[in-house]
Amino acid sequence: MTDASITVTQSVVEQFTERYLRSIGCSIERSDDHWVVSVPDDTDTEITHGRHTLVRGEGTPEDDSTKRLNPESAFFQRLLREAGERSPSGKLSIESESDIEIPGWIQNGAVEVQGAQFTPYYDRTAIVILFRVGIETVSEYQQELLRAVAVDARSEEHLPRLAESFLERTSIEANEVFAGNSQLAKEEARPLLDAARDLLLDGIQHRLDEIHQEASRAADSEVEEYRQMQQQRIQELQEEHSNLSSKIDDLSEKINTGDEDSRVQALRERKELKSEYEELDETLDELWERRDSGFPERQREIRERHSLDVKVTPLTLTEIEYERGEVDFELIDGNINQTVTLGYGSGIGVADTVRCSACEQELSEHNPIQTISNGLECRSCTE
């Protein structure tokens, strides 16, 4: 599943900021190292109305009217928050006139494409959702992923290629015209969103597994550390135990041999020591028992602390209208021509799997088409 985030460079920051500010009605006077931005009174924005100076890059420190404009600046971060929340749902059309995508098994092959013709048969609707996934555990840094998931609105079919097209068309350079508001009703969108969530979790499973394993290892080593510490404590207590025992023996000896005063004194001391001895005995028994059962409570505590907390948040929902139909690829190989007709969707590309006429193996960019003289034959068959 492709990463949907965009790297934040200074030029991207400036491009986005300018476009956004102008779109909400601000005017900008640009000069080399700073911009003067005027925010009219009736503009719907959290940015204070009036005139501001935006210093590009790492310039002078911020004061009330001067703000820094760079990837980490507070001003830019506030702008992103505002823009992100402004219109989280909408609609996008992917028209059929866009260039027809040639599949990898033709592009990498030895056969040329002389012409390609897409005939749309019907309009379809899909949704693309951008999900933020936060993964947190004590032993690893918190990780945040942004992923796009596309599903067909009617069949709930997963459309990964459409999600890719969506990301391409919403890059910073893109200036795609959106077709306005989504026509989907809330009740229609909810089950699609649920389906997209399941697909999302499938898509990031591998990443989750990795982090999960690492967290488990970290927990394991903490458990082991604790076990060793307790083992050490047991040894110390055992020593103390045996010291007490010999002290009690010495006192018993004294009781048997000493005069009355020292006997009374020794008896008193022995009583105290015996009670200490018993307490120690209990503590040791308890420790042994816990050790033999593998310190279950502590283990649970440690594993709970290391557990993975995955938080999935849907951030934007885009309804996409796309077309489905058939594409004719006119292939040419020396003197031979052949037209191949395949299922196709705008923004999706070729939807059918094509197999080698000789070996039945699926054609792919790694095993592309080599010749059309005897049907469609793959590279491995002709080598």
Partner 1 sequence: MSGYDLVDIEVTHESADDLLDSLSEDGAEGDHLQSIQAVRLQAGQPDSELRSLKELDENSVKLLEHQVDAAYRALFEMDGKALLADEVGLGKTIEVGMILKEMHFRETDESVLILTPAQLAKQWQAELREKFGLDFICNYDDEFEDFDAHDYIIASIDTAKSERHRQTVLDRDWDVLVLDEAHYVKNEETDRYDLIDRLAYNYAFFLTATPIQNELTDLYNVVSLLRPGLFGTRDVFHQYFVNSNQETLVNRDELQDRLNKVMIRNRREDTDIDFTDRTIDTRTFEPTPKERELYQAVSDYVKGAYSQDQGQKLVLMLLQKEVVSSPVALKRTIEKRLYEQSELTHADELETILDLIDEIDTVTKQERLLDIVEEARDNVEMGRVIVFTQFRATQQQILDRLVSEGYTVHAFHGGHSSSEKEQIVEDFEEEGGILVSTDAMSEGRNLQFCNMLVNLDLPWNPMRVEQRIGRIHRIGQKRDVFIFNMALKDTIEEYVLERLYHKIDLFQQSVGELSSILSRLEESGTSFEDQIFERLMNADSEVELENDFDAMAVNLQEQRELADKLEEFNSGVFEGFDLGESDD
For the segment 306-345, give every residue that binds partner 1 (CB under 8 A): 306-318
Long-range own/partner contacts, residues 185-194 (CB < 8 A, 24 or more apart): 188/153, 189/127, 189/317, 191/156, 192/127, 192/151, 192/153, 192/156, 193/127, 193/129, 193/314, 193/317
Q: Is 145 in the site for partner 1 (CB under 8 A)?
A: yes
- Binding range to partner 1, per CB under 8 A, among 34-42, 141-149, 154-162, 364-372: 141-149
CB of 119 to partner 1, least distance (A): 29
- Decide whether 188 or 330 has the Cβ nearer to partner 1: 188
Contacting partner 1 within 113-132 (CB under 8 A): 130, 132
CB of 13 to partner 1, least distance (A): 8
- Decide whether 58 or 62 has the Cβ nearer to partner 1: 58
Contact string (CB under 8 A) for partner 1, positions 69-108, x = contact: --xx----x-xxxxxxxxxxxxxx----------------
> What are the Cα distances from residue 370, in Å, to 108, 220, 298, 335, 358?
9, 53, 63, 14, 12
- Binding range to partner 1, per CB under 8 A, among 171-179, 266-274, 275-283, 330-338: 171-179
Contacting partner 1 within 280-299 (CB under 8 A): 299
Q: Is 178 in the site for partner 1 (CB under 8 A)?
A: yes
Q: Quickly tell me which residue has 């492709």 as its tokens.
A: 2
* 239 CB-contact burial (10 Å; exposed 0-12 / middle 13-18 / buried 19+): exposed
Contacting partner 1 within 241-280 (CB under 8 A): none
Q: Report the SS3 class of residue 251.
A: helix
Helix axes 205-257, 296-305, angle to 10 degrees: 150
How many angstroms separate the CA atoms of 181 and 107, rounded? Answer: 37
- Is 375 within 8 Å of 338 (Cβ atoms)? no
- Decide whether 224 or 253 has the Cβ nearer to partner 1: 224
CB of 220 to partner 1, least distance (A): 5
Contacting partner 1 within 10-29 (CB under 8 A): 10, 12, 16, 19-20, 23
Record the tokens describing residue 347, joined without a space. Answer: 């923004």
The amino acid present at 226, given as its one-letter code, is Y
Contacting partner 1 within 364-383 (CB under 8 A): none
